[in-house]
Chain A
Amino acid sequence: MRRIESRLDINSENFRLNREHNERLAAELRERQRRARYERPQRDLDRLARQKKMFVRDRIDLLLDPGTPFLELSTLAANQAYDGEVPSAAQVSGIGVVGGREVIVHADDASVKGGAWYPLSVKKIVRTLDIAIENRLPVIHLCDSAGGFLPLQAQFFADRYYAGRIFRNQCTLSRMGVPQVAIVLGHCTAGGAYIPALSDYSVIVRGTGAIFLGGPPLVKAATGEEVSADDLGGCDLHTRVSGTADYPAHSEEEAIAIARDIVARLRRPQKALECGEAEPPYYDPAELYGVIPRDNRVQFDMREVIARIVDGSRFHEYQPAYGTTLVCGYANLWGYQVGILANNGVLFNDSSLKAAHFMQLCNQNVTPMVFLQNITGYMVGREYEMRGITKDGAKMLMALVGSEVPKFTVICNGSHGAGNYGMAGRAYDPRLLFMWPQSQISVMGAEQAANVLSEVKLRQLEREGATLTPEQIAAIREPVLESYRAQSSAYYSTSELWDDGVLDPVDTRNALGVALSAALNAPIATSRYGVFRM
C-alpha cells in the first residue's frame, strides 16, 4: 500500500490560522466536557458524601482495567436542554475494558438530580443498549437513580423507543447470549428495578442499594404500609430471601471487585476479524488542526485527513481517476483493514456510483467501512436529473442498508441533506457516529435555507406586485440563519443524541480503534441487497 503524499504546507499562514482556530475549538470541547463530567453544585457532592456513596467517575475508574482505553459516548448529551442543569443527561456511558473483556458501561450519575431519568437520559440508555445489541457487547449497569423525572414523563414513558425499550433491549441482549452485570449502588425504583432483575448477574451494596417496584413513599400512599428502603428492598432481602440480587457486598468497592470477578469469568467470543500489526500514521495527527479550514465553506482534500488517521498513512485508493469528489479505498487502522469513503466535494452521478460499488466491494471482502463526511449534498440541476442523480443517490442508500460489515461515521465538517444519508448518517445504522467540534448538520446549509425561504417569500410578493427592501429581506433571512446556527451545531446534535459524541479530531484514530475492536464482537453476516434502480 502506498503512503499518501501530503501536499500540505504546514508552514503556511493559512495552516497556522487554521491550526489556531481548531486548537481553540478543541480546547473549548475539553473544557465543556470537563464541566459536564466534574462540575457539580457542592450540595450535591455533600449529599453523596453523607450517603457514603462514591462519585460515578470514581466508580468507573475502579471498575475499569488500569492502562486500558475508555471511549466515553455522548458526554455532552442534554448540554442544551433542561436549562443546562442535567450534564451528560445524568448518565455516563462508554466502551471500556473490565477484566480484559470489552464491555459497555451504563452508569447513573447520582450527583445530577439524584440520577433521575430525564427524557434524554432515557434516550441515552436506550442508545447504549442498542450499541450493546448491535455489537454484542456485555453490559455493566451501575444503578443509582431516583427514578423517572415525573414532570416530563410524557417525553419518556409511553412511546416505542422510550423507557420501556430499555428493558426490552435487556431481554433482547439476554436472548442473544450477551451477558449483563448490574451493580446496585443506590436505588432502583419502578422501571429501574427491572435493570438488575433483567441482568444475568447482579451485585448489591448493603445499606445503600435497594430494588423495589414502588419506593417507601409510594407504598405508604398505596397501602398505608410504612417501611424503610432497606427493609422494603435492601441487600439482605434480595440476596437471601427473594433471590432478585445475587451477590451482597459490604461496600461499593467490594461490589465493584465482585463485578470485575464476574466479568473475568465470562466467555470470550471469537472476534469477527483478526487484527494485524499496527503502525502509527506517518504524518503527525496534530496536523489535523491545520487541515480543517476555519471557514467551513472552504473545501479541503480529505486525503490529508485520511493520512493523519490511518496506519503508516498508507492508502490503497479505489478508482482514483473516476468520480473524484468521492475518495475511497482500503487502509489499515490499528491493524484492521478498513474501507474508507470520504467527500471531496458535492456528490455527482459518477461519485455516487463509485461509492455504491465500493461499499459492495467492502462487503464482499468483509471489510468494515469508515465514512468521513463533508457533504453539502448531491448535485442538482436538469443535466444531473437526466443522468439519474436521484437513482444514483438511491443506490448508495440501498448499498448501505444491504451492508452487513460494521460501519463507522465521522462528520468532519458539513453534513447536509441527502448527502448525510448516503454517507451513512444516523438513520443508516453506523455502529458509532461522531462529530468534530466545528461540524454542522442540517437539511441544508443555513445560507441556502435562508436563500430558499426569502426566495419563496419574494416570489409570493412578486405575484402580489410588491418587492422586498433589503431590510425586509434581512428580516426574513436573519431568524432563519439564527435558528440554523443554533440547531445545526455539533453541540446541538450531541445534546439531542443525534450522535455518539463530539471528538477532538486528534482523538479520531483512537476512538475508531476502540470502536472497531468493540464492533467485531458481533459476527458479520453475508450482505444481501434490495433492488438497485439501475
Chain B
Amino acid sequence: MHRPIRTVLVANRGEIAMRVLRTVNAMGLRGALVYHAADRDAPAVAAADLAIQINGATPVGAYLNVEEILRAAEQAQADAIHPGYGFLSENAAFARRVAQAGLAFIGPSPEAIELMGDKVRARSFVESRGFPVAPSAIEDDAPASFVARARKVGFPLLIKPAAGGGGKGMRIVREAAALESEIARARSEGERYFGDGRLYVERYVERPRHIEVQVLGDAHGNVVHLWERECSVQRRFQKIIEETPSPALDPDRRRQICAAAAGIAHAAGYRNAGTVEFIYAEDGSFYFLEMNTRLQVEHPVTEMVTGLDLVEQQIRVAMGERLSLAQGEVGRHGHAIELRIYAEEPARNFTPATGRIVRLRLPQGEGIRMDCGVREGQAVTAAFDPMLAKLIAYGADREQAIARVRLALARLVLLGCPTNASFLDRLIAHPAFARGEIHTGFLDAHPELAADSPIEPDARLALLAATALSHPQVLETAHAVPEPLASIGGWRN
C-alpha cells in the first residue's frame, strides 16, 4: 500500500539531521526539523524548510521529549518522522505513538524494535533460528544459577546489560575472582543508564573484529543485505573508524556473514534499514552480537561502495514501495573509510572539549565526502555528544581510500575547538592499520597514539611568530616603538 510522504520531520540534530535533510530535499520533499535553543546556530536549522523549537528539562531531554516532537510534527503537517540514530530511534513506544498519530515512522516496526532492543530476547531469537551466537549465560533463564553458569562460559568474558546497546555498560572480566563484584557493578550501571539491571554474559573473543552487515527490508517481505562494514577500531566500545569491505574477509566468509545477516532480518520480518553486528574471531568464526534497528552513524561507507542513498531507500520503504533491487543486483565497488571527528582531547584521556568554531574549511577532493553537523561560528558545548562530523573517503582500493582520507584530514581546517583529527591521522598512518591488522583492542595495544606529537623547535617558533604577528596586544607593543629606535634595536652601551 502506497502512502505518499510530502513532509518529513527530522527528530534529531547535528550531522545526521543535515544528512537526512539533504536527501529529503533531493527527493523534492519538504524537510522540517526540531531543535533545542542550544542548537540554534546549527547548520541544519538553516537548511530545513521549517525549523521548530522544542523544549526539555535539558537540551538532550528536548530530543527525547515525545510530546514536543509530536506537537512539532503536527505543526509542520509532517507525514513522516525520521528519528536519525540515538535519541528515540530505537524507542518502540515512540514508534507506536508516531503510528497512532497517523504518521509514518521511517524505521522498522515497533515489534522489531522491541525484539532486537532486548539483547537477551534478540540473542535467543537468533539462536533459535540457527544462527551462530557466542557461548553465554543469560540471567533471566535461571537467576539463581547465573553466576555459576557465567563462570562456566569461560574467561575472558563480557558482562552486558540486557537493555543496553551501542557498547554502553559492558565490562570485560578476565579472572574468576573478579566476577561477582563486576556483576554487581554492571547491574547498578544497567539500572542507572537503562533503567534495567538485567544482565547476560558472553564469552569474550580475544582480538575480536567487529563486523556488521547493512540490511534493508520492505513491507512486502523482501530483505537484502548491502554488504558488510568493519568497525574494529574502537575506544571503550565506541567506534572511531569504519570501513567497507572488511580487510579480514575472504569472499566465502563475506558471503556467509552477509547471508546470515539477511537471514536474521528476514526471520524477524524486518522492515526498513537496520544493521546486524557480529563478533569475528581470528579463526574465522563469527557470532551474532546484536541488531541495531535504525540507520547507523557509519552508513555512508556503504553508500559510497554501493552507490545507494540509504536515507532515500528508507523513505521509499516507509512510503510502502517494494525494494528496487534484488540481492544479486546489489553491487559493490572499491573501498570506503569513515573517520569520526570528535570534539575531544586524546592526549588528555579523551576528555570532551568545548569552544567556538572560529574557522571551518571542509576538505574537497576526488572521493571525499564530509557529513558535517557544525558550521563556522557555532559554539561546541558540553550539552550534547561530542561528535562534530564524519569524514568519508572512497578509493578504488583500500590503499587509495586511506591515502585520500589522509589527504582530506590534512586539508580539513577546524579551529577553535580541539578535535581528535591528528589522533585519527596517527591511527590510520600506523603500519598495522595499513596491513589491515585491526581488532577492537587496537587502541589499548597502542596507547602512545593518543599522545600529542611533541612540538619541534621550528614549529614552536612558527607558532610564536604566527601568534605574535596576529595578536593585537603584541603588535601594539611592537608598533608603539618609534623610529629610529626600532631600527637601532636591542643595543646597549
Binding site for B on A (CB under 8 A): 65-72, 97, 99-102, 264, 268, 271, 275, 278, 334-336, 501, 503-504, 507, 510-511, 513-514, 516-517
Contacts and interface: CB of A to CB of B under 8 A. Distances in A.
Contacts of A335: 483-484
Given A100-B477, A503-B493, A510-B493, A68 B486 contact: yes
Contact of A66 (B480, B486, B488, B490): B490
Contact of A69 (B479, B480, B491): B491
Given A99-B477, A100-B477, A100-B480, A68 B485 contact: yes
Contacts of A503: 493
B481 A278 contact: no
A65 B479 CA distance: 12
A278 B492 contact: no
Which of B479, B484, B492: most chain A CB closer than 10 A?
B484
B481 to A, nearest CB: 5
A334 B483 CA distance: 9
Contacts of B490: 66-69
Contacts of A507: 491, 493
Interface in B160-201: none
A503 B492 CA distance: 11
Which of A69, A72, A278, A516: most chain B CB closer than 10 A?
A69
Given A97-B481, A335-B483, 12 more contacts: A66-B490, A68-B485, A68-B486, A71-B493, A97-B485, A334-B484, A334-B488, A507-B491, A507-B493, A510-B491, A516-B484, A517-B482
Contacts of B483: 275, 278, 334-335, 517
What class of interface size applies to chain B in its complex with A? Answer: 10 to 19
Nearest to B479: A100
A66 B491 CA distance: 10
Contact of A278 (B477, B482, B484, B493): B484
Given A68-B486, A517-B485, A511 B480 contact: no
B481 A501 contact: no
A334 B482 contact: no
B477 A69 contact: no
6 contacts: A65-B477, A71-B493, A99-B477, A100-B479, A334-B487, A501-B493
B488 A69 contact: yes
A275 B477 contact: no
B447 interface: no
Interface in B440-475: none
Contacts of A68: 481, 485-486, 488-490
Contacts of B482: 100, 102, 271, 517
A67 B489 contact: yes
Interface of B: 476-477, 479-493
B480 A99 contact: yes
Given A99-B480, A100-B477, A102-B482, A70 B487 contact: no
Nearest to B484: A334
B484 A264 contact: no
B488 A510 contact: yes
Contacts of A275: 483-484
Given A69-B488, A275-B484, A511 B477 contact: no
A501 B490 CA distance: 19
A414 B296 CA distance: 93
Nearest to A511: B493
A100 B492 CA distance: 17
Nearest to A510: B491
A511 B482 CA distance: 16
Nearest to A264: B480
Contacts of A65: 477, 481
Contacts of A511: 493
A66 B476 CA distance: 14
A67 B479 CA distance: 12
A101 B490 CA distance: 15
Nearest to B481: A100
Nearest to A71: B493
Contacts of B481: 65, 68, 97, 100
A334 to B, nearest CB: 4
B471 to A, nearest CB: 15
Contacts of B493: 71-72, 501, 503-504, 507, 510-511
Contacts of A67: 489-490
Given A65-B477, A100-B477, A513 B484 contact: yes
A347 B251 CA distance: 109
A268 B493 CA distance: 26
A71 B488 CA distance: 11
Given A100-B477, A101-B480, A70 B492 contact: yes
A21 to B, nearest CB: 21
B353 to A, nearest CB: 31
A102 B485 contact: yes
Nearest to B476: A100
A268 B481 CA distance: 11
B415 to A, nearest CB: 28
A182 B55 CA distance: 59
A342 B173 CA distance: 95
- Which 3 residue pairs are nearest across A and B when measured between Cβ atoms? A100-B480, A334-B484, A69-B491
Contacts of A513: 484-485, 488
Contacts of B476: 100
B493 to A, nearest CB: 5
A97 B479 CA distance: 12
Nearest to B486: A68
A513 to B, nearest CB: 5
A66 to B, nearest CB: 7
Which of A68, A268, A504, A514: most chain B CB closer than 10 A?
A68
A116 to B, nearest CB: 26
Contacts of A510: 488, 491, 493
Contacts of A72: 492-493
Contacts of A69: 485, 488-492
Contacts of B477: 65, 99-100, 264
Given A503-B493, A504-B493, A514 B487 contact: no
Which of B479, B489, B490: most chain A CB closer than 10 A?
B490
B184 to A, nearest CB: 52
Nearest to A73: B493
B287 to A, nearest CB: 65
